[in-house]
Amino acid sequence: MASVGAEEIAIMSTALKWIKSGGGPLLCIESELLQQWLGVEGNSVANGQDNTFANDYERACSVSDYLGKTPLGDRQAMVLGDEPLETMIWRQTEQPPLIVRVYYADPDVDVIERLGTVQDLDFSDPAESMEVEFNSKDMIVFDSAYPGKDIDNMFLTFELPPGTYTVITKPFQPDDRTSVLIHIFQQK
């Protein structure tokens, strides 16, 4: 089975933007916090909080599960842990957004078409779940190694009403040649 490469992203689903990290985890934060994230350039954790790590990127890399949280100012950043996978935001009308991360797929496969609809996906037996709170609606996903000021066009955005969410994570394998990890936001 072929791994998905950057040149094949457009084929996976031509209407959707895909990103991936340079090797570490991706980060999902409120857009207004973007300038606070220092990536490999420094540690944004204030004195009095956990200063165990040399920089923000090391804190993100310390997440060993599919999802984790790390402090960012007086809020939390959500870390997309596990492996550095091709990632996109999938949102059908009136449905909560999903973060879709591809483990493997053939280069000419439209992953979203293979998954069907959000209603086709069963999240009743999740691999993991985590509670997270967001205070603003504009969200951004990017490589945690980069300082927020330097992300250029390597990011994804989506809107989410402010509130507390349970983020449910589950792997899906719609066929023998396609495997994805999906995170869905369910407002509490």
The pLDDT averaged over each successive group of 10 residues in the chain (188 residues) is 39 66 94 95 73 88 94 93 92 87 92 86 94 96 95 92 96 94 95
How far apart CA 87 and CA 52 sit, in angstroms, is 29
> Which residues in 58-83 are b (16+ Cβ under 10 Å) and which e?
bbbbebeebbbbbebeebbbbbbbbe
pTM (two decimals): 0.88
pLDDT of residue 51: 66
> Which residues in 21-54 are b (16+ Cβ under 10 Å) and which e?
beebbbbbbbeebbebbbbeeebbbeeeeeeeee
Domain residue ranges in the chain: 6-187
> Which residues in 129-150 are b (16+ Cβ under 10 Å) and which e?
bbebebeeeebbbbbbbbbbee
Q: Is residue 158 helix, strand or coil?
A: strand
pLDDT of residue 9: 36
pLDDT of residue 179: 95
Phi first, then psi: give them for residue 60, nearest 5 degrees. -65, -40
How far apart CA 66 and CA 163 sit, in angstroms, is 21
pLDDT of residue 163: 96
- What rounded mean pLDDT belongs to the chain? 87
How far apart CA 171 and CA 168 sit, in angstroms, is 10
pLDDT of residue 22: 87
pLDDT of residue 49: 61
* CB count in 10 Å sphere of residue 13: 19
Task: Name, in order, each residue with C-beta under 8 angstroms of 12's C-beta and a sequence gap of 6 or more.
Answer: 4, 18, 86, 88, 102, 105, 109, 110, 111, 112
